[in-house]
Structure 1
Amino acid sequence: MSNSYAQPILRTADLSEGLRIVQRLLGIADLRDLEVDFDARISSPHSLSGVLSLLPDADWWAEGHGDGASDMGVDPMAYLPIWLRRWAGTPETVVPFLKAVGDSPATVRWDFNAWPEAPEVGLGVGGTRGAFVTLCAHARDLDQEEPAADHTVFVHVKQVEAERAPWLAAQVGLRVIGDLVMAPH
């Protein structure tokens, strides 16, 4: 299985603007098999409580100290900061998740069937391995290693279809604002 490649198309201090752009992108996508993946790097007990009440079955693991993890049956509060992940969620969970994480770096990735045909750049329908949109909240990068006060929207494409990213940005009135990078799994 290959990774997708992602390119940023929006950086904004307004989280609702980022969510609007995501919705516009989803409006042109084939949303069959839509799933949403959630990741966060949480150091606040308040944020952790909120996220766990929303996603009680999320996986988590300690971030560098101790050896706590969700599969050990221990209290994650004792291991802050932690990484938390929940795969295959529903779109209705996105806004409550973003509210619960507060200022913690987090990503929400929409995973769907395909991007539309892009005849202007010579591309047919883009298949599942490159059909994602990610909103990075309070982070500049997909790995959440560069915390930020703003939010970034990335479009994902197959590496061999790199020209689809600027085309997608143009479909929502934007342009790419950074390099095409390999996305984490």
Structure 2
Amino acid sequence: MSNSYAQPILRTTDLTDGLRVVARLLAIADLRNLEVDFEAWVSSADVLAELLELIPNAEWFTRGHLAGSPDDEADPTTHFPVRLRGWAMPPETVEPFLKAVGESPASVRWDFDAWPEAPEVGLGVGGTRGAFVTLCVNVRDLDLEQPAPDHTVFVHVKQIEAERAPWLAAQVGLSVIGDLEMAPY
């Protein structure tokens, strides 16, 4: 399995604007097998409880245990901050997730089958390993390490199809605003 490469195309203080751009990108994608992955740094018992209700099988871990929770019996509230991950969630859980995380650093990644062909840059249909959109909330980076007062939308592509990222941005009236970087997962 190879990682995708991501490039930011929008930074905004208005979460609704970020979600609108995501919706426009999804409108041109092949959404067969659409699922959503969530990730958040959580420091509040209330936020954690709400997220665990929404994502009952979430993985959680601390900074010192990046491979998973310290042990299956551990109480995550005794390990704050904890990083929480939910995989392969239905798209309708996005809004409840964003409401629950509040001001916490978080990301939502939409995973789908393919990007459309981009004949203007010589590319056919882009396959699954490079077909994602990520919205980072209250943070500037995909690793959730740079807290920010704004939100960033990233498009993901295969590294050998790097020219697809600016093409995708142009399809929604934007341009890339940062470098192409390997996505963490």
1:125-184 Cα distance to aligned partner (Å, 9 max, x none): 000010000000011000001011100000000011100000000000100000000001
Quick one: distance in 1 between partners of 2:33 and 2:73? 32
- Deviation sequence 1:63-104 (CA, Å, 0-9, x none): 349xx8275122211111101001100100001001101111
- C-alpha distance in structure 1 between counterparts of 2:139 and 2:9, whole Å: 14
**TM-score (norm. length: structure 2):** 0.95
Q: Residue 62 of structure 2 contacts residue 70 of structure 2 at CA under 8 Å; is this kept in 1?
A: no
What aligned pairs does 1:1-185 form with structure 2 within 5 A after superposition?
1-64=1-64, 69=69, 72-185=72-185
1:12 to 1:164, Cα distance in 2 relative to 1, 3 A: same
**SS at the partner of 2:16?**
helix
Number of residue-to-residue matches in the alignment: 183
DSSP-derived class of the 1:129 partner: helix
Residues 59 and 70 of structure 1 are in contact (CA less than 8 Å); yes or no, is this contact kept in structure 2?
no
Are the counterparts in 1 of residues 31 and 112 from structure 2 also a CA contact under 8 Å? yes
The answer to whether the 8 A contact 1:63-1:80 is kept is no
Greater shift after overlay, 38-47 or 126-135?
38-47
* Matches of 2:11 and 2:44, distance apart in 1: 25
> Could you say what the CA RMSD is over the residues aligned between the two structures, in angstroms?
1.3
SS in 2 for 1:155: strand
CA distance in 2, matches of 1:85, 1:70: 14
Give TM-score, length-normalised by structure 1. 0.95
Q: One-letter code of the match for 2:111?
A: D
The CA distance in 2 between the partners of 1:129 and 1:175, in whole Å, is 22
Alpha-carbon deviations, 1:16-73, whole Å to 9, x = none?
11011001000000001111000011112221121111112101012349xx827512
